[in-house]
Amino acid sequence: MIRSIFKRKGLSCDDVMEVLQSYLDGETDAATARGVAAHLDDCVDCDRESTVFKNIKVSLASNAAPVDPDIMASIRAFSDRITSGEIE
């Protein structure tokens, strides 16, 4: 399980992007989940990113055929490049 990163008053966008997928999958601890939820309530950019992740998750879940692991790896790599700032 993801360790708590909720050590200061609020989470930065970088903090949220680091754990967003785990948060959406319900894999963060309660303190981190509260911190991420509070940040998403206040940050339009991070909330928009969470909506994209949610839509991808719903789309993948509704796909009847299994998703090719290479495609998933490519999507994760692309997501990592976006969150690292390599791609705008």
Domain ranges of the chain: 13-83
Percent of the chain surpassing pLDDT 90: 58
The predicted structure's pLDDT at residue 57: 85
What's the predicted TM-score (pTM) here? 0.61
Query: In angstroms, rounded to a whole number, what is the distance separating the alpha carbons of residues 10 and 43?
Result: 12
Report the interhelical angle of 13-24 vs 69-83 (nearest 10°): 160
pLDDT digits (tens, 9 = 90+) for 33-69: 999 999 999 999 999 999 999 998 888 777 667 778 9
Band the pLDDT of 2: cuts 50, 70, 90. Answer: very low
Percent of the chain surpassing pLDDT 70: 86
pLDDT digits (tens, 9 = 90+) for 65-78: 777 899 989 999 99
